[in-house]
Amino acid sequence: MRIEEEIKQEQFRNEYQKAYINLLYTSSRLQVEQAALFKPFGLTLPQFNILRILRGQYPKPATISLLIERMMDKTSNASRIVDRLEAKELVTRKQCPEDRRTVDVLITEKALALLQKMDECAGSGRTGINNLSETEAQELNRLLDKIRE
């Protein structure tokens, strides 16, 4: 469906405004879809993202700072997301002896198994983005990078 119909707005100021709104709207749509995929596994999107970063580090732990650095949303609150993962026994947290200001966050076996299962089932990357051809995906990456320049 064209963006005009999606939000019932037939007129945009120009192609730029339309692209702007289209970008935000499409991103939101993809996130809603992905959250729905994650729900059966009891994870929210930010929780999943944190776990993915931790898996990338495994078997090394990560500090909260490192998590923030790699998160897409840098202003979200890594501390509290880790709180919830800890409550679900998906990560452990312990003070780092070398620098006692920092905390070693480590993904648990339980979480690794969960991610494995999610990889096999839903999360294996089938989204609307796959409607694009390889060339179109490249072009999209180019345009997005240019927007952030």
**8 Å CB contact between 53 and 69:** no
Binder among 87, 97, 99, 146 for a second copy (CB under 8 A): 146
Kindly state the smallest distance separating residue 42's Cβ from DNA, in Å.
Answer: 9
Q: What is d(CA 105, CA 95) in angstroms, rounded to the nearest whole number? A: 9
By beta-carbon proximity to a second copy, the closer residue of 89 and 136 is 136
Tell me, residue by residue from 10 to 49, as one string, x for binding to a second copy by CB under 8 A and - for no binding: ---x-xxxxxxxxxxxxxxxxxx-----------------
- Measured in residues, the chain has a length of 149
Instruction: Verify binding: residue 139, a second copy, rule CB under 8 A.
Output: yes
Q: What is d(CA 38, CA 40) in angstroms, rounded to the nearest whole number? A: 6
> Segment near DNA (CB under 7 A), from 18-26, 59-67, 106-114, 129-137?
59-67
* Residue matched to tokens 């452990």: 92
Residues 6+ apart with CB under 8 A from 117: 41
Q: What is d(CA 109, CA 43) in angstroms, rounded to the nearest whole number? A: 16
By beta-carbon proximity to DNA, the closer residue of 69 and 136 is 69
Instruction: Verify binding: residue 148, DNA, rule CB under 7 A.
Output: no
Instruction: Verify binding: residue 75, a second copy, rule CB under 8 A.
Output: yes
